[in-house]
Amino acid sequence: MSRSNGSNNIHTVTADDPPFLFHRGEGYTRHRLPVDSKVIYPNDPLEPVPDRRAAIENALDHPLGSDPLDALLAPGMKVTIAFDDVSLPLPRMAKPDIRQTVVEIVLERLDKAGVTDVELICAICLHRRITPAEMTHMLGKEIYRRFAPKKLYNHDAEDPEGNVDLGTTSTGEVVEINRRAAESDLIIYVNINMVTMDGGHKSVPVGLATYRSVAHHHSANMLLHDSSYMDPPNSSFHRSCERMGAVVAKHVKIFTIETTLNGNLFSNLLGFLQRREHAWNILDRLNYHGSRIGLGLLSGTLRRKVYNALPAPYGMTGVHAGDTELVHQQTLINVDRQHAVEVPEQFDVMLVGLPSIGPYNVDSVLNPILVQCLSAGYFFNFYRNRPLVRRGGVMIVEHPVENRFKMLHHPSYHDFFEDLLPQTRDPRELETRFERSYAENERYIDLYRNSYAYHGVHPFYMWYWGAHGMAHLKKVIVVNPVSELAARRIGFEVAPSMDAALSMAQDTVGPSAKIAYFHCPPVMMCHLP
């Protein structure tokens, strides 16, 4: 796989450097870093394909390991189109969303072939249901009007009649997915791949699955010992998904459509957020100070709305269709083209600035559980071969950790934080003592099915998601949190400033500590030898 030359992405800090930008929740700040520290920058956005629609049409006509889509269609067929939910992409995509373009083209072909039994399912798995407004943003008004609500809807992992057991894998994992999809003549899955963890057999066997299936690969033991779920070839998590995909493929034909996007996350107004500090001009500095001060003056709710108001002007860098595994191989190459950065060594201390944009808090609060997941789970695991920070090293997190939860979306998260974490933070103990009671709690199930809450078991999985990173690191230090109680309850130590955090880290790993600032977003994958 092609990837960038690390020398172009790694900057050695000098005494003359300007302060470096750190995301901090729904805002940002800047810090001067110790001389000789390394700043690891993401790659510049790739050039998008010149004609999105033509590229999609070509992928459908020249699929990998499959007949062209048109050749698979016939009148009287039952076809289900499944698609990713709002956890991708982040931030949300400027209209038209790539899912809209793909689904429009697919529907044109279904109509031409005389296929009338068509339903569209948002593959939420155990995530919260998607609102009509979010559905409309993803698929456009015309598709929503034509199909919603009876033929365009969210997957329901708790519908007793709506899911079907397809059997078990070679290792005994239960494979249970959406009944409509399983009983179709053809599933067409429309995917967006932002990181290497997504797509492939993580689409149908996970996105359309139930707790009985997901529990196998979201277990505390698996996620504690997975070398990195961002490195599919070396991930036991992905092996489990692949085994489940093989079972699904015996029952129903799947035609996968995967797209990749570039790293163009911010509009021109916020362009300074993805320019290197040395390249800032006067307008960048004015925009930084103006937006930081403006956001700081707003209430939390209004600040979140403003912070998320500007959709990202992503460009599509590739699209492939056909056999799931063959398609995903090409998808991973494309993801690497955008995100892979060569890093020649490990470090003692890893610095991250966390935005409040995460896959599980769209239109919501990045609560303390999700702070742990985003930092020790996602940011820590953006590596291949070896972690960016050595075992026994330190992660320093810039984020205003607050003891706040949006109860519409995260009722079980609140109870997990208040009732369980004071008893134990050990993922295995949490799984053994409490997971099933949350997963089967009737109130949480009702809120998942009939409101907009994440499934009752979801906070457990996000806690396990960060377990590998938390076990690898000697400590995680958060800079100046709003709630010290919340920070300490999730296992973080607290420092009043970045300088104090660096001093605490050096007390742990030694005064000559090698320090790396993981300058993200946009996302990047560190490839270490």
In this predicted model, what pLDDT tens digit does every residue of 43-92 receive, in sequence order?
999 999 999 999 999 999 999 999 999 999 999 999 999 999 999 999 99
State the average pLDDT for the chain: 95
pLDDT over 80 (residue 172): yes
Cα separation, 190 vs 186, in Å, equals 13
pLDDT score of 37 more than 60? yes
* C-alpha–C-alpha distance, residues 484 and 506, integer Å: 21
Q: State the average pLDDT over residues 329-347.
A: 97
Record the tokens describing residue 240, joined without a space: 């489990």
Distance of CA 498 to the CA centre of its chain: 27
Where is pLDDT greater, at 124 or 296? 124
Paired with 187 in beta bridges are 80, 254
Residue 27: which H helix or E strand, with range?
Answer: strand 27-31
H or E element, residue 245: helix 236-251
pLDDT > 70 fraction of the chain, expressed in percent and rounded: 99
pTM: 0.96
DSSP for residue 293: H
Domains and CATH numbers, the chain: 6-36+343-527 (3.90.226.30), 52-261 (3.40.50.11440), 271-308 (no CATH)
- Quote the CA–CA distance of 319 and 121 in Å, as a whole number: 21
What one-letter code names the amino acid at 400? P
Residue 70, phi-psi category: left (phi > 0), alpha (psi -120 to 50), beta (remainder): alpha
Q: How confident is the model at residue 302 (pLDDT cuts 50, 70, 90)?
A: confident
**Residue 304: band (very low, low, confident or very high) from pLDDT cuts 50, 70, 90:** confident
CA distance 20 to 33: 8
pLDDT greater than 60 at residue 234: yes
pLDDT band for 7, please (50, 70, 90 cuts).
low
pLDDT band with cut points at 50, 70 and 90 for residue 268: confident
Q: Is the pLDDT of residue 1 over 60?
A: no
Instruction: Please state which of the ranges 55-59, 224-228, 373-377 shows the lowest mean pLDDT.
Output: 224-228
Mean pLDDT over 417-437 rounds to: 98
Summarised one tens digit per residue, pLDDT across range 107-149 is 999 999 999 999 999 999 999 999 999 999 999 999 999 999 9
pLDDT per position as a tens digit, 469-517: 999 999 999 999 999 999 999 999 999 999 999 999 999 999 999 999 9
Instruction: Identify which has the larger pLDDT, 509 or 292.
Output: 509
Query: What residues pair up with 429 in beta bridges, in sequence order?
Result: none
pLDDT band for position 521 (cuts 50, 70, 90): confident
Q: Is residue 269's pLDDT more than 90?
A: no
Q: What is the pLDDT of residues 244-267, one digit of tens each?
A: 999 999 999 999 999 999 999 988
| DSSP letter for each residue of 361-404 | -TTS---HHHHHIIIIIIITT-EESS-SEEEEEEEEEE----S-
Mention every residue, 6+ apart, whose C-beta is less than 8 A from residue 97. Answer: 137, 138, 139, 140
**Cβ–Cβ contacts within 10 Å for residue 269, how many?**
12
208-225: pLDDT as tens digits? 999 999 999 999 999 998
